[in-house]
Chains A and B, each alone.
Chain A
Amino acid sequence: MSQPPDKESGVDRTVELRAMANMLRRADGFTLAFAQCNQPVERRRLVSELRQTLDDYPIADIEFTDPIEHLLDELIPLLPEHKDARALFIYGLEHSIRSDREFSPMVANLNMSRNLFPRHISCPVVIWLPVYAITAVMRGAPDFFSWRSGLFQFPSPSGVLTQVSQNALSGDVLAIINLTLEEKKGRIAVIEDLLADYESLPTDKRDRRTEGSLFYRLANLYYSLGDYDQAREYCQQSLKISEELGDKSGIAYSLSWLGNIAYAHGDYDQAEEYCQQSLKIFKELGDIRGIAYSLYQLGMIAHIRGDYDQAAEYCQQSLKIFKELRDKSGIAYSLYQLGIIADARGDHDQAREYYQQSLKIFKELGDKSGIAGSLHQFGNIAYIRGDYDQAAEYCQQSLKIEGDLGSKSGIAGSLYQLGMIAHIRGNYDQAGEYYQQSLTIFKELRGKSGIAVSLAQLGLLYDRRGDTHIAIRLMAAAHEILAQIGSYHREPVLGCLMRLQATVEQDDFETLTKEAQADPEKVVREILDSHHSE
């Protein structure tokens, strides 16, 4: 027998397979081992290699495709048909383990019934699990786990890793944005497992660049689910690694995403700073796509601040570059943003034209998020035209898609729009319900702009009901938030506030507004609490 060629102490599949083969050949009687492998395809490859190595060593494959409660009880009836096997390989127990933290009856039963295993099984048992499930067994069945005679770790092959990581850095946001909620969650789990694999490698074997891009990808995924805090954390990790490596491109992309996240939180100054930083680096690097993307982001920021000329200019610039690059996705988003600017200026015909152009491309690309956004905007135009049935229909369609995608900000936006429609139709209770829902989600996302406009709409409803004092408080709080973030929405809100001012005593008005301005978040809490207690 020749010595294995590699001498390093890291985890290597050949070394692991050899060790497992050694154990299987030597073990006499019940012997427990775990094999950590994240991908079923890779696992099948490993098992078939192992079979070749072992030669004439019958292994019984037992795969569970559904959750089970008691492994041994499931195994015992299967044993007679595998009586010639010299080892049992068990797969699929991860279906009975939801996460590494949650209680799993299957895992608890492993712990308690461990003494019964050697009474029924007299050969080696290898349990194949992804890394999170191994952790769950380690935590949930420590006594069973402590019986192991081997723990074999097969990190995912590097081919798979680079594939995933390249996708992540290509800026192909489409790959993420179109996934359904379940798919997004699944992908998050896969990437988190991959990261754990990387982290478990010996220092000299670790590939920080890939780790960085995995963090970046996770940030995108969490962003698309509306979990901005988690997204920011991962984005900062990715930024940190890029800085460590002196990877300027990586730094610029991370900064750019941090800009998106800050924008979603309504921190427009912070967002602009990130964008300017990333734009500077993209220019240094001559990364034209990056430049176009930063310009597009700056356009969004200028728009929300009410600086429409500047916003339109940025968007036209980014549109021009994306067209040169033939980047369809970039073109569609720039057109869409130009439509929103036109809408804000009151040029709805122009806006509709932009939306139609962008929708066509979104459909071509199958970009569901873009489609939902366009439908939402069509709904808005229909609303402005007074065609409320049409508006509501668009809105419901967009809500459905956003729901499928799990995009919380999209859902909140659609609910808000539905509130507006109910409001204008005179269905005040229903409108209030929608606003409360959008407010709840925006609050959870800490999306300040969304919180403020929902508050303002609720203010109008209270005013109509005759609760002028509450209306003033809500309006004042909304105005305060909008002024803080520098949003153009503050002007119409200020108009309402001034109208309300005329209906109450001046002293009362001042007390109410001062209070609300001092702590707008308190107003938000109060209005949500009062709703829940109803």
Chain B
Amino acid sequence: MVYSDCGYQWNMMKGVVSMNIMASLFNACDPIKPPREGTYVDCSSARGGDIVYTLARDIRWVESQTCLLFSGHSGSGKSTELRRLCERLENPEMDSQERFLPIYIDSDDHVSPSDPEVTEILLAIVGSVAETLRDKEDICLESSYLESRWNEFKDILTASVDIEKTELSLAKFAKFTVKLKQAATESRRKVRAKLAPQLPSLIDEINLVLSRARVELVQRGYKDLVLVIDNLEKIPDVTDYTTGEEIYHRLFITGGQQLGAIEARIVLTLPLSLIHSSRGRQLAQNLGEEPIVLPMVKVEEKDGKPYNKGLELIRTVLRRRFESVDLKCEEVFDSTNAFDYICRMSGGHVRNLLMYFRSSLNHADSLPITEDAVRRGVRRHINAYSRSIPEENWKFLARLHLDPDRHIPRDDVHHEMLRDLTVLEYINGGEPWYAVNPVVRELEKFKRAVQEMKKVNSSETDGTKPINDNESTA
């Protein structure tokens, strides 16, 4: 074996360098983390308006109390937009605008997905308000009523969870709900059972605490506090086997009335499927506000033609991320085809975009990424839909695809399809419309269903009967 150490070393170096670039690029496009400083792209022009502006305006306009309902596809950027909202409320762009103190409540921390109850949200509100006020403004909130409630149920939980006894402020409720979520279902239910008859007085007390907080905040230059309750939309809609009650009904309809009784400015995230159902309308009536939906970034028109402005925004989302690791698009992709393919397949869904990019990158050993690698990467995600979509849904998808108005009926099947991103929601001006996820459209099954639907449609207009299934056996 000839030892040509020069060449060997050079190859090694090249390997190391390209490895680092590949790793940096991979980590710059994380579908999980919020965008890094400088990589956020404002897509509001292709989303039918600036959602953060709308939310902030509505919060400012109301006298004292409101409950804004906010929804959108999973991964569409709701949390990112809510964090921007918090930022904008606390640090307004114009000096003339009032400051608000946002209280961000991640319901993931406080609510058990299989057994959610509004009581936990109420307690989380108290805890989070107390915690934020203590940490940010050194305000200590107290309530003898809540203290005595605390003494009632802390015994139930001490057996299963450990709560710091030294915690004096109401901020301990924030930790309490976190623990409560992790506790055994029986302990949780015991706590609830204790609280249930006292719920009206609990809500009243919370309102008192909030008034106290408000007074303190006004003295420190804030107009008010704003409760931003995120991630409630992730709770699955199932039936509680022990009570036979639908979870959504319990949490959002019954619970919605209690949340509506909280005297504060609230922004609440809701499942998209709930908003589209009749229960959603009931909820909006209870709370008195129409839900605001964060749609996909529009990358194509209703008639399927590419929407260049939106596509350019989506390209910019990736481009900014490339630039954060000093790469240009031309260096990342070997062709504009490859780049455009990912952007088109994303359907304007930012997390999907990043996910497809990462998958494509997995299939590339070095830069630039070839179109082949991109198609391979996306193919896996296309395949996954092939099995997850029930046989009977293909005809609904074909119908939506061929409907010039791109409307969907308000039924369970379509809610389910919004939830698992088989169908995506867009906004054009004011009216929402829907499209089949571009990756689903790549499937043979979809193409067949569209062909069949076209055949049926044309035979219906001919006045002839549709083709019978039995024909093949005859």
Contacts and interface: CB of A to CB of B under 8 A. Distances in A.
Nearest to B26: A26
Interface in B234-292: 234-236, 238
At the interface, is chain A mostly helix, strand, loop or mixed?
A: helix
Interface in A98-149: 100, 103, 105, 108-109, 111-116, 118, 131-132, 134-135, 138-140, 142-143, 146-149
B384 A134 contact: yes
Given A148-B355, A151-B359, A1 B15 contact: yes
Most chain A CB within a 10 A radius of its CB, from B22, B27, B235? B27
B364 A131 contact: no
Interface string A211-226: 0000000000000000
Nearest to A136: B388
B112 interface: yes
B75 A146 contact: yes
A112 B15 CA distance: 40
Interface in A46-62: none
A153 B234 contact: no
A111 B116 CA distance: 13
Given A9-B372, A135-B388, A149-B358, A108 B114 contact: yes
A27 B75 contact: no
A402 to B, nearest CB: 31
Contacts of B363: 15, 18-19, 22
B431 to A, nearest CB: 25
A152 interface: yes
Interface residues of A, number: 56
Nearest to B21: A26
Contacts, number: 147
B114 A29 contact: no
Given A23-B362, A147-B32, A112 B23 contact: no
A236 B473 contact: yes
Interface in B288-337: none
A104 to B, nearest CB: 10
B358 A105 contact: no
A529 interface: no
A134 B30 CA distance: 21
A140 B364 contact: no
Contact of A22 (B27, B33, B365): B365
A340 B33 CA distance: 72
A111 B381 contact: no
A243 to B, nearest CB: 8
Given A1-B365, A108-B113, A150-B362, A7 B372 contact: yes
B472 interface: yes
Given A11-B383, A15-B376, A142-B420, A111 B234 contact: yes
Given A11-B379, A26-B22, A112-B111, A149 B472 contact: no
A114 B384 contact: no
Contacts of A114: 108, 234
B341 to A, nearest CB: 12
B384 A151 contact: yes
Given A15-B376, A143-B74, A151 B22 contact: no
B26 A11 contact: no
B47 interface: no
Given A103-B238, A139-B420, A149-B31, A25 B23 contact: yes
Interface string B225-236: 000000100111
Interface string B6-28: 00000000010001001100110
A7 B359 CA distance: 17
A347 interface: no
B471 to A, nearest CB: 12
Contact of B27 (A27, A118, A203): A27
Interface in B365-384: 365-366, 372, 375-377, 379-381, 383-384
A402 B377 CA distance: 49
A25 B380 CA distance: 20
Contacts of A32: 32
A149 B381 CA distance: 11
A131 B387 contact: yes
Nearest to B76: A146
Given A25-B23, A30-B32, A32-B32, A149 B383 contact: no
B361 interface: yes
A9 B379 contact: yes
Nearest to B106: A115
Given A146-B352, A151-B380, A152-B380, A20 B362 contact: yes
B169 interface: no
Contacts of A111: 113, 234, 236
Contacts of A73: 182
A240 interface: yes
Contacts of A11: 379-380, 383
Contact of A143 (B106, B109, B234, B379): B234
Interface string B349-361: 0011001001101
A28 interface: yes
Nearest to B230: A115
Contact of A199 (B386, B388, B416): B386
B22 A149 contact: no
B166 to A, nearest CB: 24
B195 interface: no
A115 B108 contact: yes
A434 to B, nearest CB: 34
Given A9-B372, A32-B32, A111-B236, A149 B355 contact: yes
B375 A118 contact: no
A22 B351 contact: no
Given A109-B114, A146-B31, A153 B108 contact: no
B372 A153 contact: no
B32 A153 contact: no
Given A112-B113, A240-B472, A143 B75 contact: yes
28 contacts: A1-B365, A3-B365, A9-B372, A9-B375, A11-B380, A19-B362, A22-B363, A22-B364, A26-B27, A28-B23, A30-B32, A73-B182, A100-B387, A114-B108, A114-B234, A115-B109, A131-B387, A134-B387, A135-B388, A140-B236, A142-B74, A143-B74, A146-B75, A146-B352, A149-B26, A151-B384, A153-B380, A196-B387
Given A143-B74, A151-B380, 5 more contacts: A32-B32, A111-B234, A114-B108, A134-B387, A240-B472
